[in-house]
Amino acid sequence: MQQCYASHNLVIDTLAEILGIATLICLLFVSIVFVCVLFWLTFNYARSFQRKRKGAGKYGKQSSLRKSSWRLPLINPKGDPDTLT
């Protein structure tokens, strides 16, 4: 009778240990996937933000006509090389 209880307890202990190890492996897998998704979302957000900033250009979001009129006219009375186009 005692051997039956002992073997039954051994089976339960073994199953509990296997279930515990499987739970730890699943938690490890879920945490790795969570961290990867977090990095992916952060990278995509940063890339889209950088793309928006890059698209805005030097003068902000303006039309091409407005960008061209932002510069000084072609006539340069002072001879400053920075304003020559």
pLDDT in tens, 21-69: 999 999 999 999 999 999 999 888 877 767 665 555 555 555 455 445 5
Q: How many other CB atoms sit within 10 Å of the CB of residue 40?
A: 10
User: CA 41, CA 28: separation in Å to the nearest integer?
Assistant: 20
Q: How many other CB atoms sit within 10 Å of the CB of residue 82?
A: 6
**Does the pLDDT at position 8 exceed 90?**
no
Domain count for the chain, please give it.
Answer: 1
pLDDT band, very low/low/confident/very high, at 15 (cuts 50, 70, 90): very high
Please give the average per-residue pLDDT across 8-15, as a whole number.
87
Q: How many other CB atoms sit within 10 Å of the CB of residue 45?
A: 10
| Sign of the CA dihedral with 12 first, then 15, 18, and 21 last | negative
Domain hosting residue 9, numbered range: 2-83
pLDDT (0 to 100) of residue 27: 98
pTM: 0.46
